């Protein structure tokens, strides 16, 4: 055959082999080099900078009010109490009602779950169609969608209020879910389109030859290969929608306020003494969900990427 591979060893390697010097054993490492001290020093300072406020919050949330008034915000609690957490969850007052964050939590769940599911479902089909079933005007459609991602939200708020009102769903959870779904569409579609484009085109062709249609290819060929991108999309949507404040306050009524709005109302409703411990506990509770999502799915995400890399 014509294919023959010639390997030309470089002169340096040849010389080393002649002299009998060959690399052996693990590469030597110096733990305490100037470079390492700089590197880890910077990392530790940066980590402390971010962790310190969290520490203060955790510590404060477990102190009683008399202890907080002493003013030592960095000292650990002398007497650990979970009273503020219970109060933040169940009985803190917002001025309108006194059932704490729990109401906001369940509202947020009812907003986040459908918004995330619907937006990911629709966007993944969008991305799949744009990547694999190039229809006439697909590029134009995609461009318009992407431009949508660059228009500031504030510009669209009032028009959307009118649209929702005309549709009769202003102030309802349905309306808010719809708004979240639509606003997530450009970035999610981009995400899915790029991912599906990166999958080998021949797989798609083979499936078409095998007679699979649009949905069969989507569910049986594409979906099983797309776990990593679905996890990424989920992280994006869950954290984004959970942390949303603006849409929640604009498009819903007080009884449907999401957790973030509820938190704001608890912290800002001043009735006598400011209960720092309750506020801190409430804030930590609100932030717990995105934090949890990062920890759990982060690991899943890495596993998904690794599984994808092993495949031939």
Partner 1 sequence: MQKSVSIKDLSLSFGAVNVLENLNLDIGEGEFLVLLGSSGCGKSTLLNCIAGLLEPTGGQIFIKNKNVTWEEPKDRGIGMVFQSYALYPQMTVEKNLSFGLQVAKMPKAEIDKRVARASEILQIGPLLKRKPSELSGGQRQRVAIGRALVRDVDVFLFDEPLSNLDAKLRSELRVEIKRLHQSLKNTMIYVTHDQIEALTLADRIAIMKSGVIQQLADPNTIYNAPRNMFVAGFIGSPSMNFLHGEIAEKGGKPVFVANGVDFSLDGYTAGERLQAGRKVVLGVRPEHVKVNEDIPGADLHQATVDIEEPMGADNLLWLKHAGHTMSVRIAGARRFAPGTAVRLAFDMGLASLFDAGTEERI
Check binding of 210 to partner 1 (CB under 8 A).
yes
Beta-bridge mates of residue 207: none
Check binding of 211 to partner 1 (CB under 8 A).
yes
CB of residue 54 to partner 1, shortest distance in Å: 41
| Alpha carbon distance 91, 164 (integer Å) | 33
Nearer to partner 1, 3 or 79 (CB): 3
| Alpha carbon distance 239, 222 (integer Å) | 25
CB of residue 223 to partner 1, shortest distance in Å: 9
The alpha helices in 133-152, defined as continuous H runs, are 138-150
Q: 102 with 90: CB under 8 angstroms? A: yes
Check binding of 312 to partner 1 (CB under 8 A).
yes
| Alpha carbon distance 193, 19 (integer Å) | 56
Check binding of 212 to partner 1 (CB under 8 A).
yes
Check binding of 309 to partner 1 (CB under 8 A).
no
Residues 223-242 binding partner 1 (CB under 8 A) are 224-225
Neighbours of 19 (CB within 10 A): 8
CB of residue 199 to partner 1, shortest distance in Å: 10
Check binding of 20 to partner 1 (CB under 8 A).
no
Range in contact with partner 1 (rule: CB under 8 A) among 14-22, 218-226, 256-264, 288-296? 218-226
Nearest Cα neighbor of 148 from 116, 122, 104, 184 is 184
Among 22, 79, 166, 202, binds partner 1 (CB under 8 A): 202
- Total residues at interface with partner 1 (CB under 8 A): 22
Among 118, 208, 234, 243, binds partner 1 (CB under 8 A): 208
Nearer to partner 1, 79 or 202 (CB): 202
Using the Cα atoms of residue 146, residue 149, residue 151 and residue 157 in order, give the sign of their dihedral: positive
Neighbours of 248 (CB within 10 A): 26
Nearest Cα neighbor of 119 from 199, 230, 196 is 230
Nearest Cα neighbor of 183 from 162, 152, 143, 219 is 152
Nearer to partner 1, 201 or 255 (CB): 201
Among 121, 206, 296, 306, binds partner 1 (CB under 8 A): 206
Range in contact with partner 1 (rule: CB under 8 A) among 10-18, 43-51, 172-180, 216-224? 216-224
Nearer to partner 1, 205 or 303 (CB): 205
Q: Which burial class, exposed, middle or buried, applies to 286 when counting CB atoms under 10 A from its CB (0-12, 13-18, 19+)?
A: buried
Binding site for partner 1 (CB under 8 A): 1-3, 200, 202-203, 205-212, 216, 220-221, 224-225, 310-312
């Amino acid at each position: 055959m014509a294919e023959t591979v010639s390997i030309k060893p470089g002169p340096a390697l040849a010389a080393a082999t002649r002299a009998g010097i060959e690399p052996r054993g693990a590469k030597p490492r110096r733990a305490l080099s100037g470079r390492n001290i700089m590197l880890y020093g910077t990392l530790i300072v940066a980590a402390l900078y971010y962790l310190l406020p969290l520490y203060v919050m955790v510590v404060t949330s477990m102190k009683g009010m008399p202890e907080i008034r002493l003013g030592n915000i960095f000292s650990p609690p002398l007497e650990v109490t979970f009273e503020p957490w219970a109060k933040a969850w169940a009985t803190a007052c917002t001025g309108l009602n006194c059932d704490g964050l729990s109401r906001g939590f369940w509202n947020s769940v009812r907003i986040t779950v459908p918004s995330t599911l619907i937006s990911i479902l629709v966007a993944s089909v969008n991305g799949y169609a744009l990547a694999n079933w190039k229809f006439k005007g697909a590029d134009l459609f995609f461009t318009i969608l992407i431009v949508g991602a660059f228009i500031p939200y504030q510009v669209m708020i009032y028009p959307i209020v009118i649209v929702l009102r005309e549709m009769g769903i202003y102030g309802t959870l349905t309306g808010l879910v719809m708004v979240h779904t639509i606003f997530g569409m450009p970035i999610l579609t981009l995400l899915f389109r790029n991912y599906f484009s990166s999958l080998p085109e021949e797989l798609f062709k083979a499936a078409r030859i095998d007679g699979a249609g649009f949905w069969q290819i989507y569910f049986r060929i594409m979906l099983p290969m797309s776990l990593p991108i679905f996890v990424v999309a989920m992280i994006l949507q869950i954290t984004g929608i959970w942390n949303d404040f603006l849409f929640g306050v604009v498009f819903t009524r007080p009884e449907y306020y999401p957790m973030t709005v509820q938190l704001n109302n608890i912290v800002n409703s001043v009735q006598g003494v400011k209960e720092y411990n309750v506020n801190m506990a409430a804030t930590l509770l609100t932030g717990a969900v995105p934090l949890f999502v990062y920890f759990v799915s982060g690991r899943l995400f890495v596993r998904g990427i690794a599984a994808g890399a092993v495949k031939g």
